[in-house]
Amino acid sequence: MAARTMQAARCPTDELSLTNCAVVSEKDLQSGQHVTVKTTPNHKFVFTVKSHTTVVPGTIAFSLPQRKWAGLSIGQEVEVANYNFDKCKQCIGSMTVEIDFLQKKSTDSSAYDSDKMAAEFIQQFNNQGFSVTQQLVFSFCDKLFGLVIKDIEAMDSSILKGEMPTGKKQKIDVGLMVGNSQVVFEKAETSSLTLVGKAKTKEARQTIINPEWNFEKMGIGGLDREFSDIFRRAFASRVFPPDIVEQMGCKHVKGIMLFGPPGCGKTLMARQIGKMLNAREPKIVNGPEILNKYVGESEANIRKLFADAEDEQKRLGANSGLHIIIFDELDAICKQRGTGASSTGVHDTVVNQLLSKIDGVEQLNNILVIGMTNRPDLIDDALMRPGRFEVKMEIGLPDEKGRVQILTIHTNKMRGFGLLSGDVDIPELAAETKNYSGAELEGLVRAAQSTAMNRHIKATSTVEVDMERAEKLQVSRSDFMGSLNNDIKPAFGTNQEDYASYIMNGIIKWGDPVTSVLDDGELLVQQTKNSDRTPLVSVLLEGPPHSGKTALAAQIAEDSEFPFIKICSPDKMIGHSEISKCQAIKKVFDDAYKSQLSCVVVDDIERLLDYVPIGPRFSNLVLQALLVLLKKPPPKGRKLLIIGTTSRKDILQEMEMLDAFSTTIHIQNISTGEQLVDALELLGSFTEKERASIGHQLKGKRVWIGIKKLLMFIEMSLQMAQDYRVTKFLTLLRDEGSLIEGDQIRI
């Protein structure tokens, strides 16, 4: 048809308006034809036409949305001409449509399936032309929706020819809807419409994980395994497309509990999770800040934390962003209910309020609550069930690989500016810092820096920096080693001063019995390290008083080179009540469970038990605590060696404690004159002539003396004049009953 002038008219019926076609008389055009309508010299619009008997010939009828889009008025003359689509270039591949309720008063909160909507749209408007910015009306589920065409991409022409797609996407202004076109619905910004299904958003899905995320840049080291576990449990469902999550009936995790020793990175990890996610700025709250002396204020503070998330969920529903709330020191506000002595019960009501907000009757799906504590045992049980803080993650002491990462992070800046000496070997430092937490490793780097800086300060009447030498400042290996030995000690580790006092005179290998004990100890250490079947190994060293049991236990512990070695000794618990003694012993074991390899020496068990032969009397509370702890296996992946010492095996037998130990090793006293002379030779206190004299006097005699008592006798004898030392020593042996006499010794 050649271009002709026609007059714009009103669409005769509502049903025809819903076709989104321009309506003409049968005498002018046939249904399904496409035309251009020229309203001004510079404005042309493409329409698909539909013929109807009620339309006056020479007029072309438009619906109200069409007239708004094309800027037409009733009776306006327009130039109408035929339009032919190029089916190789103008078939619609995908079209993005903005959707909203046509009338604001007809809004509802029902969820509309965008996939069904797209199928019906293609069915209704198949073989119809559409233009970018076009406005139209669409009826779906007896509701009217106003649509605006936002974007059109042409179909890949190679698909139309039956070839492999090239993947090229070409934007077009006008396109023809065909059966395999894709329609993607995008709700208007201010709309309260709820869409579900795959066809409800146009862009490649925005990942919840920030693409610039990097562990080292964020200053997190040694927590790769923990983080991957948290990610699997808490974020995997949020990364998947929402429609798949909906189809699975999967609910997002709403709470994560991070617990573990102080200084291992709980707060740091929680803070960085907020930066890692494309979410709202996290709200970080210290537990005690919630509490308020006025009635109801503490609960109101909890409600304020969740107010933004509630408001956004009401407005946007499933399209709400993720709100992160971080509670530091959670145990301050979430103690077990019913345990507080306070008459107000403020802790209980705060816990109740938090429970109802996280997983109450009105559930919020747009929140992630992260709690941190050093004391998970204090937290109310109701908070720990699935649906609340269901991901429980222990942030423990870093392993060697983790320590390398942490030290690298804290020395990166120095290395970048050339302030780290070449002799600093990070893997060597990581190997030396067993059981150091992340905070202690950072403290070690600071201590090494201050040691290096101290070298460049002039010690004059005024404190000033030697600027000439300061230019060459470098932190060296010796600075790190000095800080390692003197400044920074791990809270969970070996305290060498603790057990050095027990072996200050060394181990005197006066005979096979001593060597045998040390060999058996080495076997038990290897068993603890290498056996997966026996993560808990316990041994009791029993023998007479002063036979060196504690020294041998300390030596076995030191030779093991385990990262955690602690001695649980009665001298640390003088004046303790029974309950506080049990708590102190339990703490030693709890600390031991936090390390990969641990050794606990339980020294002088009968003293720990408050045993006395008169009565007899002992502490049953401490006995039961020890029996439980001696048999309790460490957590999975951890190994524990327990070495007990006692001088009263018979008493432990009656208390049924011997069965709690895997094995028992007997420690002997020195029992022959030859062994005693060998001990004297090893100690080197007497001269060779004096030792020969003592050996002659003791030849063939039996003695019975512990190594500790022998050391005491030697030191007492050495205080005498040279000629009387041997006599004094033999007299002490006889008077103390250490000599089992057959014949009298000539003195």
Q: Among candidates 510, 586, 579, which has minimal Cα distance to 551?
A: 510
Q: Residue 276's CB: how many other CB atoms inside 10 A? A: 20
Q: Catalytic: which of 201, 550, 645, 646?
A: 550
Q: What are phi and psi of 594, to 5 degrees?
A: -80, -10
Q: What are phi and psi of 19, to 5 degrees?
A: -75, -20
Q: What are phi and psi of 409, to 5 degrees?
A: -60, -45
Tell me which amino acid residue 483 is: S
Q: Among candidates 706, 586, 675, 589, which has minimal Cα distance to 638?
A: 589
DSSP state of 461: S
CA distance 536 to 359: 40
Please list, in sequence order, all residues whose beta carbon lies within 8 angstroms of the beta carbon of residue 435, skipping any fewer than 6 positions away.
397, 490, 492, 493, 494, 563, 564, 595
Please confirm, yes or no, whether 708 is among the known catalytic residues: yes
Token pair 């699975």 is found at 248
Please confirm, yes or no, whether 549 is among the known catalytic residues: yes
CA distance 668 to 719: 28
Please confirm, yes or no, whether 604 is among the known catalytic residues: yes
Q: Catalytic: which of 380, 604, 639, 678?
A: 604
Residues 176, 129: contact at Cβ < 8 Å? yes
First to last CA, the chain: 145
CA distance 334 to 417: 46
Tell me which amino acid residue 660 is: A
Please confirm, yes or no, whether 550 is among the known catalytic residues: yes
DSSP symbols for 155-173 = PPHHHHTTS------EE-S
Query: In angstroms, what is the C-alpha Rg of the chain?
Result: 42
Q: Catalytic: which of 357, 434, 549, 594?
A: 549
CA distance 385 to 391: 9
Please confirm, yes or no, whether 632 is among the known catalytic residues: no
Is the dihedral angle over the CA atoms 380, 382, 388, 394 positive or is it negative? positive
3-state secondary structure of 454: helix
Residues 111, 196: contact at Cβ < 8 Å? yes
Is the dihedral angle over the CA atoms 708, 713, 719, 724 positive or is it negative? negative
3-state secondary structure of 598: strand
CA distance 642 to 635: 15
Integer angstrom CA distances of residue 694 from 357, 509, 676, 727: 84, 19, 9, 9
Q: Among candidates 371, 259, 354, 263, which has minimal Cα distance to 300?
A: 354
Q: Catalytic: which of 413, 631, 632, 699?
A: 631
Label residue 728 exposed, middle or buried (CB < 10 Å: 0-12, 13-18, 19+).
middle
Q: Catalytic: which of 708, 727, 728, 731?
A: 708
Residue 520 has which token pair?
Answer: 């058996």
Quick one: three-class SS letters along 271-337? HHHHHHECCCCCEEEEHHHHCCCCCCHHHHHHHHHHHHHHHHHHHHHHHCCCEEEEEECHHHCCECC
Residues 438, 222: contact at Cβ < 8 Å? yes
DSSP symbols for 618-664 = --HHHHHHHHHHHHPPPPTT-EEEEEEEES-HHHHHHTT-GGGSSEE
Quick one: three-class SS letters along 529-574? HHCCCCCEEEEEEECCCCCCHHHHHHHHHHHHCCCEEEEECHHHCC
3-state secondary structure of 183: strand
Residue 134 has which token pair?
Answer: 């076009």
Would you name the residues annotated as active-site residues?
549-550, 603-604, 631, 708
